[in-house]
Amino acid sequence: MNTLSVSINVVIMLLLVGVLYYMQRKHVSFNKRVFTALGLGIAFGLILQFFYKPTSEVIIQSNNWFNLIGSGYVKLLQMIVMPLILVSILSAFTKLKLTNNLGKISGFIIGILLLTTAIAAAVGIASSAGFHVSATGLQQGAAETARLKLVEEKSTSIDQTPIPQKLLELLPANPFLDLTGARPTSTISVVIFAAFIGIAFLGVKKKYPEQAEQFKSMLDAVYALVMRMVTLILRLTPYGVLALMAKTVSGSDIQAILKLGNFVLASYVALIVMFIIHLLLIALSGLNPIQYLKKVFPVLTFAFTSRSSAGTLPLNIEAQKEKLGISEGIANFAASFGVSIGQNGCAGIYPAMLAMMVAPTVGIDPLQPQFILTLIAVVTISSFGVAGVGGGATFAALIVLSTLNLPIGIVALLISVEPLIDMGRTALNVSGSMTAGLISSKWLGELDVNTYNETVNTTEEVAL
């Protein structure tokens, strides 16, 4: 019976994929196909929830098949992330405008990322206090017990690593290893490695212009090849969104979510408030925030569905350059830095909320000004090097909690609602990096305002 039910579910998924393919053949715009996939995925997931329990064998086996499309698509995106970061940073150094303002651009982007992370931490603190979220009464089942064991092992490794050593781990001792994404800090290490090559290029350009020009030509060819790979993968976005959303909705434990409803609500209120702050910062820069929202919404939708800031990187860069009118150099820097530095959702709001929840359990008043200021500072500093894939928020929370000598068990007790909250966190992370790129580009006079203000060109979307 299970086999028949799973087969029916897989056939339905293939039929939905066929609907999206038909829309593509009819040249329906890319955005419309993505949103259609989102709606179909949610509807299919809810139907599966109606007939089966989230932990049933039918749902588990069905989602394993759905993973071929959903997780397969995310893996393809992750496959291109490291090469894209490397060539994006390097190509940024070869742009004439960038070479004259390198320090200023990097400072602006990193400064905005860190500033918004500090604000996000404050928003998380305020939301926790406003909704009175607490670790008291959280139940520990079999899944939470297993998760706690893994969390404790990871925490032990973090606790045994002194802060200077943690900073040293950001440096790429073996860049080829980091290009495989083997370490939690691999992404920021690749950024540093690419920056060193870029700085070396600037030196060679002054002394040996011919060799520098040869390197630039070679890099341009590699960049064109990588971006072509990105385009091929992005064409699969509607199918990936469909499968990912169906899997997430069908596998979510509604009862557990309702039990932790107060924390989920507080989290999303904080995420929404922080997103509004992004829009306010854009408005204060003299730009129309509604225009920003219209142009980046498809990117945020994919980030929400995939739960991977790194996997969204290709869409992030493309949206900044093609839709928002951000210069190529700044777009490449902002998107690449945003994968590992100053993630507003995963490294800002989430660790701050968890610290507020567990502080009373060890006799600390979380509303003391000294504790709040210390928490914001620790959250901001620890936001360096947070992995932009699933699990980055856990890594950030463990660093913050262990630094403040707070209990880490809370990380494991929230496992049932983790996927639901992680979707919103990831979307906010991506918005933060795009906001940093947009504001930096505007303040430095490198924003194509005409591109930013023009309506979305549907003919460009059809090409995907």
Band (pLDDT 50/70/90 cuts) for residue 244 is confident
| Cβ proximity of 14 and 218 under 8 Å | no
Helix (H) or strand (E) holding 126: helix 102-131
Structure tokens at 409: 């068990």
| Cβ proximity of 35 and 88 under 8 Å | no
Which range is least confidently modeled, 89-93, 261-265, 369-373, 450-454?
89-93
3-state SS class at 298: helix
Domain count, the chain: 1
Band (pLDDT 50/70/90 cuts) for residue 88 is confident
CA separation for the pair 72, 88 (Å, rounded): 24
Cβ-based neighbour number of residue 49 at 10 Å = 17
CATH number of the structural domain spanning residue 96: 1.10.3860.10
Mean predicted confidence (pLDDT) in 426-447: 92
pLDDT 10s digits, 33-46:
888 998 999 899 98
3-state SS class at 172: coil
Range of the domain at 299: 2-462
pTM comes to 0.79
Structure tokens at 209: 């212009």
CA separation for the pair 135, 132 (Å, rounded): 10
Mean predicted confidence (pLDDT) in 304-320: 83
